[in-house]
Homo-oligomer: A and B are copies of this chain.
Amino acid sequence: MPSSFNPTVRTLMGPGPSDVNPRILGAMAKPTIGHLDPEFIRLMDEIKGMLQYAYRTKNELTIPVSAPGSAGMETCFVNLVEAGDKVIVCENGVFGGRMADNVRRLGGVVVHVEQQWGRAVDLDAVADALKNNPDAKIVAFVHAETSTGARSDAKGICDLARQSDCLTIVDCVTSLAGCDVNLDDWQADAAYSGTQKCLSCAPGLSPISFSDKALEVVKNRKTPVTSWFLDLNLVMGYWGEGQTRAYHHTAPVNALYGLHEALVVLQEEGLEASWQRHTTNHMALRAGIEAMGMSFVVPEDERLAQLNTVTIPEGVNEAAVRKQLLQQFNLEIGAGLGALAGKVWRIGLMGYASNPKNVLLCVNALEAVLSQYNAPINKGVATAAVQASYS
């Protein structure tokens, strides 16, 4: 008979989940109240307001979906795409591919804009696709590709889409709170994120935001949304304005306690300060990684601070190194995904986990394990490089 589970305390520097702030762990353990309790309604209102802050938007429909980021993605597609709709999907990693899969399952027509993995989406290619597909309804892209560490020009893509009367769906899973997300400046129409990246929450919720224009499209669909659970026409009856909320599904009360606390933490630090912290720690990690002689997959000006995709030194069994890091130092870093599987490590510096202690641990633990495997790296120089970066 299984007994209570007591996880080993890890340091989470993979592609997410990232380390959860103990304040947030504590919040999730507070006593559960009813999902229609007046106190809970207040909590929901505060979450909506703070998510608007995090997304930099005035969109009324800015709420957490009661399921992980993948369900947030699906919420955007299932509400906005009807059978026959043409959707331009920018693919520069795993998550663009997943968007295309969403569209196909809904009977939509996918126009692929392919880009080399590890690079930002090419604006010229998007412009060409729009020109060649005047009947396209939506342009979908990933702001921060978690599978490659590349950041795309969200404002640029949204501008192009709008000029062609297309709606935009933006994956902000890894970017929200970690770098410059600004929905209103971009004039993006639908965005989704996850709680387990730069918000430092446990995984399980997906903050989304829909512009009024996008919401009008949802309200005026010709066919019903195929998903009852994710139909925003119903969800908004519960998350909408006023004290009377119509029961839809039972909200994940304690997970929302966690998200609320994460957003309080974010407001205390300040959004720009959070972005800056991610950059500062990324620069220090980079200094240490490069001092050892390893390099980054993504060109400097397209690189994410919160997700670092690093090449593996020649002759090294990458899985063995990750296993050793986990066993010896309780440090988790991520493997490559899709086209980059076996070729890179993904080192996350997200939210609460983006701090000097973690940078130093990661660089030195890598040096220790790679030395043990006789990997061709420069030894004894990483710590000083990290420290110099912070000075």
Chain A residues bordering chain B, tally (CB within 8 A): 82
Q: Tell me the chain A residues, 1-47 only, with Cβ under 8 Å from chain B.
A: 1-10, 12, 14, 16-17, 19-20, 23, 25-35, 37-40, 43, 46
Return chain B residues, CB-CB under 8 Å to A5: 27, 30, 43, 46, 257, 260-261
Return chain B residues, CB-CB under 8 Å to A227: 74, 78, 105, 226-227
Q: Which of A179-187, A247-255, A293-301, A368-376 contacts B (4 or more CB under 8 A)?
A: A247-255
Answer whether residue A385 sits at the interface, using C-beta atoms and an 8 A cutoff: no
Contact B203 A253 (CB under 8 A): yes
Q: Which of A62-70, A161-169, A359-367 contacts B (4 or more CB under 8 A)?
A: A62-70
Contact B28 A8 (CB under 8 A): no
In the bound complex, CA of A32 to CA of B262 (Å):
15
Return chain B residues, CB-CB under 8 Å to A381: none
Which of B3, B71, B78, B253 touches A202 (beta carbons < 8 Å)? B253
A317 to chain B, nearest CB (A): 16
Given contacts A2-B46, A10-B34, 8 further A-B contacts (CB under 8 A): A7-B43, A12-B34, A14-B34, A17-B35, A25-B31, A28-B29, A32-B203, A66-B67
In the complex, the 7 A-B pairs of residues with the closest C-beta atoms, listed nearest first: A204-B252, A29-B29, A67-B67, A70-B249, A202-B254, A2-B46, A203-B250
